[in-house]
Amino acid sequence: MSTSIVNPPRDPNTLSNYHNFLTTHTEVNFNIDFEKRNISGNVALTLKSITDAAAKEILLDTSFLNVKDVVLDGKTPKWDLLPRFEPYGSALKISLEDGVQNGKSVQLEMSTETTEECTAIQWLTPAQTRSEHPYMFTQCQAIHTRSVFPCQDTPDVKGTVQFNIESPLPVIASGLSIGVKDLEKGANSAIGTKLYTFEQNIPIPSYLFALASGDIAKAPIGPRSVVATGPKELKAAQWELEESTERYIETVEKIVFPYQWTEYNVLVLPPSFPYGGMENPVYTYATPTMISGDRENVDVIAHELSHSYSGNLVSNASWEHFWLNEGWTTYLERRLQAAVHGEPHRDFSSIIGWKSLQDSVKQFGDSHEFTKMVVDLKGKDPDDAFSSIPYEKGYTFLSYLENQVTKNKWNTYIPHYFTTFARRSLDSYDFKANLLSFFASDTIASKALNDVDWDSWFYTPGLPPKPNFDTSLVDVCYDLASKWETGKFEPRQEDIKGWSANQVVVFLDTVQAFAKPLDERASQTMGSTYGFAKSQNVEVVSRYYQAALKAKDETVFKPTAELLGKVGRMKFVRPLYRLLNEADRALAVETFEKNKDFYHPICKNLVEKDLFGKGTKS
């Protein structure tokens, strides 16, 4: 970001005083200890003063972190961990004897160790990874980097990073690999430990700091891409991704501009990974549910690749403006799909997204703060606001703006936007001002944009106006669903012959939305006739289970519980738990208690709230 900081800071979810100092570079020297289940070592921050006022302290974010020592420019300053302030952790306060002149930098070194309460790291046993080795990975979005090391844990600050990581198992990081070195056995090194070094020379926000270590193998999926995953899963993952990855990169480059991060790689994580993907630079983290054996779910990569521009290169200044990350990314993803598969596929994906948006609004309530596009997160945990709303409401808004100025003119704005804000962070008001400025000399487009009710789009809760979608690819899905709703037909396997998995998804989404759920017999007939329960595609089977749970179809209760013990992706886990809880609360609670240590801490926390509320479990 630029050194012109809004005062007070734009991000309410950090305890750092980043309006006084900016982190320009981070170097971590960490040891990954699988036995102790912690990461320990030294982190060095280069902090630049950006204020004329003589700031007498540096404040950094920490959470459940053991800080052992602090050194400032070679000297030991007075420092203290302030009392914990939920949900943001404990500020690390470093006192300065003298102020730091505007533009000058200081070097801050800290010795730290993660604790068992760290919310960013998941430690997996060999049994959980289906191998002979343990595994660990970080998930730092939104505000969890502070539980790995002290930092300015806000997307409004970007800096370069060097990773020096000791581990007995292969390491992946959100930077380019620049070397692997064997280490001798020592006080902090086990036999076979290696030092893995990475550098990220494009400034990134703290939430894109990423590490993973485990029994990881790699295979090429394109001229500038590899896939990394467990050795047993490698061949299937390579097949799934090698056909589309480079084509996707070349396509998005034509929409925006050349890819900036040198390599685009994919790390397919163990099943407990809580998201479809996480756009960590250089290495996208991806759900194993994407590897479905039919190449039907590789659009996850289209989305995460698009994040290389939106989110990674151009970032939201705070999580209150998360729609800028996800709305723009979903927009680029669907433009990419249209370019590769044909224009109807853009609306096909949008229709699926609209259903997801409706579900999220219904879950929160149509007047809830978190159903707005720009939300108020003061004193709140950004994780609690996470849903499809910033993705789909943001996409709908950008598509609306595209229609206001015409697609051809909008196409010229896309690279301008990403060029203007590259390596910076922005909020919704920066975006609005930039867009209006770009079209200021175009009388027609300027008038159209000035007629937009910006405040309604930004601040009105609930659903936005529904677009007119091209339904050519889904009409057959709607037609079959209507037959099931009336019940006046004899289902046959041929009903869905030749359908893509996404068409099945639209059909099942429509069935779930019936005013009157299927009855138990119809649910069982659907499952046996179409073979949904036997599908290897989790997008399909999870939606069938949701429809069947609404039907109180007891034949899916146990299979649902079994699936919940194999998949940790919140997109599937949370809706299935909610519906299983309504159908058989005892089984839902039993299933959670059995599998809670399998889930990532973020997922575990949110499912616990879904099942038991925010208070004590009952």
CA angle at 274 for the pair 272 and 279, rounded to the nearest 5°: 120
**Cα→Cα distances 414→207, 409, 453, Å:** 25, 9, 21
Query: Which residue spans within 275-373 are E strands per DSSP?
Result: 277-278, 283-286, 314-316
Helix (H) or strand (E) holding 124: strand 121-124
Is there a cis peptide before residue 54, judged by omega within 30 degrees of 0? no
Neighbours of 554 (CB within 10 A): 14
Helix (H) or strand (E) holding 560: helix 557-564
**pLDDT in the model for residue 6:** 40
64: region left, alpha or beta (phi > 0 left; psi from -120 to 50 alpha): left
User: Which two structure tokens, joined as six digits, stand for 447?
Assistant: 């008038």
**pLDDT in the model for residue 352:** 93
**pLDDT in the model for residue 126:** 87
**pLDDT in the model for residue 409:** 98
Long-range contacts of 555-562 (CB under 8 A, 24+ apart): 555/523, 555/524, 555/527, 556/523, 556/527, 557/583, 557/584, 557/587, 558/587, 559/533, 561/587, 561/590, 561/591
Binding site residue list for a peptide:
139-141, 274-279, 569-571
Helix (H) or strand (E) holding 327: helix 322-341
DSSP class of 466: P
Residues counted in the chain = 618
**pLDDT in the model for residue 128:** 79
Chain centre distance of CA 85: 25
Give CA–CA dist 77/83, Å, rounded: 19
Give CA–CA dist 78/468, Å, rounded: 61
Strand partners, 267: 228, 285
* Closest of 459, 458, 452 to residue 435, by C-alpha: 452
Is-above-0.85 flag for pTM?
Answer: yes
Q: Which residue has the tokens 């009388």?
A: 443
User: Which two structure tokens, joined as six digits, stand for 503?
Assistant: 């068409």
CA angle at 438 for the pair 435 and 443, rounded to the nearest 5°: 105
Give CA–CA dist 90/61, Å, rounded: 7
Instruction: Determine contact, residues 337/299, Cβ cutoff 8 Å.
Output: yes
- Which residues of the chain are under the pLDDT cut of 70? 1-8, 185-191, 614-618
Which residues does 90 contact at the CB level (< 8 Å), separation at least 6? 15, 62, 63, 65, 81, 82, 83, 84
**pLDDT in the model for residue 488:** 86
Give CA–CA dist 237/608, Å, rounded: 32
Binding site residue list:
139-141, 274-279, 303, 307, 326, 569-571
Binding site residue list for Zn(2+):
303, 307, 326
Can you spell out the DSSP letters for 358-420? HHHHHHH-TT-GGGSSS---TTS-GGGG-SSHHHHHHHHHHHHHHHHH-HHHHHHHHHHHHHH
Query: Which residue spans within 256-364 are E strands per DSSP?
Result: 265-268, 277-278, 283-286, 314-316
SS3 32: strand
Which residues are part of the catalytic machinery? 304, 391
Helix (H) or strand (E) holding 522: helix 520-530
**pLDDT in the model for residue 313:** 98
79-81 β-sheet, strand order: 57-60, 92-95, 79-81
Neighbours of 209 (CB within 10 A): 27
